[in-house]
Amino acid sequence: MNTVASIKPLLPANLNVTSSTSDTPQPLPDPAAYGRDLWERSVLFMDTLRERADNMIAHERAGMPPLLDFKYETLLDARQFGRSANYALLRITEVDGNCWDDCVDDTKPPVIVVDPRAGHGPGIGGFKRDSEVGMAMAEGHPVYFVIFFPEPEPDQTLEDVLFALRRFVEEVSARHDGAAPVLYGNCQAGWAVTLLAAHCEGLAGPVVLNGSPLSYWAGEEGVNPMRVTGGLLGGAWLAHLTADLGDGRFDGAWLAQNFESLKPEKAIWEKYANLLTNVDTERDRFLDFERWWNGFYTLSRPEILSITQNLFIGNQLESGEMPIGDHCVADLRKIKSPMIVFASYGDNITPPAQALGWIPEVYKDTADLKAAGQRIVYLTNAHVGHLGIFVSASVAKLEHRAILESLDKIEKLKPGLYEMKIDNPSGDPDCHAPEYKVTFEPRKVSDLKHDVPEQAFEKVEQVSKINEAFYSTFVSPWVRLMTTPASAEMLRLMHPMRVSRLMFSEGYNPWMQFVRQTATSIAETRVPLEPGNSMIQRERAAISAVGDAIERARIKRDATYERTFRTLFGNEKLDTDSNPRMPV
């Protein structure tokens, strides 16, 4: 899964700075003052990285608890179930000093938010006040949050996880006189919630999928190269090898590294350049986000193999062929609860094609969808990034509030496909109906149809099966024989995502003590240069130019990936330019 354009909403504004065109005489540059300012910012920048490393160590020593910005209590711990899984159900009890009794309207359905296991820990749906959890509580809904623990249970499977999630839904429903809870699935949790809804017919209420990929072969050439990487790597065998070297566990740091490599100009350059340039104002926000970003959780070997083989490589969810254990196959047509799909064109991890492409695959046309008695509503954002769908203040205050306030209307819609449109004349995201107006415009299933080179991806699936069979039979037994808990821990600690962070900790690098002391001294007398300083503007222009160069290199890299994919698996174009773009 799987970038860091997705973290753009959490980062400061673009670094491009346009110099003033005013006729007012500008003061002459002062190289000495700029040099002093740059040196002070550099020390404070290094000290911020030191604090990030120390926060990471402290978080791991504390057991990596969920980073929720709300008080909560644990209701169920699935590790204690007869069929155990590393999941737990929380009840949000307090927001901004207001307790459950002050916030909750018993007439509104409960909301269950499920975060993704995509390398990081739980919390993205609620680690800020302006998030899904915060908005649902503000609207009076009883809110429950599903978390998971850093380590999976031994040989934990997706079937075990679904069993635990079903127990959670039953518990919440029982607490609210049988009311069917609204299921919120974020990113990779979307397919888990979708599978849950298919197996909880009549038990689950509306299903809200936020940035959730269900069609893994869909996308645009030149925009979504991640869908071809499985073929270039030979399929699922590499994930199997990584889990074997981890002594049966797949390190989530690999998934986080994949995110960052998708757009290195954002994740590896602009994020840190923004911090250096604006260290006086951005330090706290940087550290707040990095607490979540650098908490790496693991998956079990059976889980990562099932995910890579059946979803990323096999794309079996939309085709109704995804196995759940040895006795069940998921069928999305069984879902009768209304489905609300929220996607963004600024999301390069889950583009709208991957969030919506499953609909014309499951239902052959609009008449088929209506005959199935299903109601599917989708809404799109023009620019917000992946993580911004969950925690961006402007999105949380408008789109998520509009979804919650429109649940009754959605459930009363006639079967069919609708696009949800929000008209907000005021432009203020912190408003309520009727200050904004929501309409549901009928759409055709064919509107969401995208041409996908299925033959090429089917070849990838066959290659993956062959490589996986060979690896499982002839290589995996030897790798497992040579792997020990000590060797797995050594590889975990040596992962680049950890080394690049921990190298700035005083515990690993004694020189950082001098940085901390110097930063403390600087903070006492710090007087930053004005943002309009001509040399500061030149610095930002140089930073922007480097970012542009990295972006151009990344675009060439992605184009090479796609050309190689076409050469290996077929000469057909990965996506046709004639495909209509879904209305925004």
Amino acid 6: pLDDT: 41
Amino acid 202: pLDDT: 65
Q: Tell how far CA 341 is from the center of its chain.
A: 15
3-state secondary structure at position 518: helix
Q: Which CATH architecture describes the domain 71-215+315-451?
A: 3-Layer(aba) Sandwich (3.40)
Amino acid 521: pLDDT: 96
Give dist(CA 233, CA 258) in Å, integer. 13
For the record, the structure tokens of 476 come out as: 């995996």
Tens of pLDDT, residues 473-487? 999 999 999 999 999
pTM reported for the whole predicted model: 0.88
With 0-12 / 13-18 / 19 or more C-beta atoms within 10 angstroms meaning exposed / middle / buried, residue 241 is middle
What phi and psi values does residue 416 have, to the nearest 5 degrees? 155, -175
Amino acid 431: pLDDT: 74
Cross-strand bridge partners of residue 62: none
Cross-strand bridge partners of residue 88: 77, 147
Parts of the chain with a pLDDT under 70:
1-28, 97, 127, 129, 200-202, 222, 393, 396, 571-584
Amino acid 168: pLDDT: 96
Give dist(CA 265, CA 384) in Å, integer. 17
Ordered by start, the domain boundaries in the chain are 5-14+30-63+253-295+494-569, 71-215+315-451
3-state secondary structure 367-382: HHHHHCCCEEEEEEEC
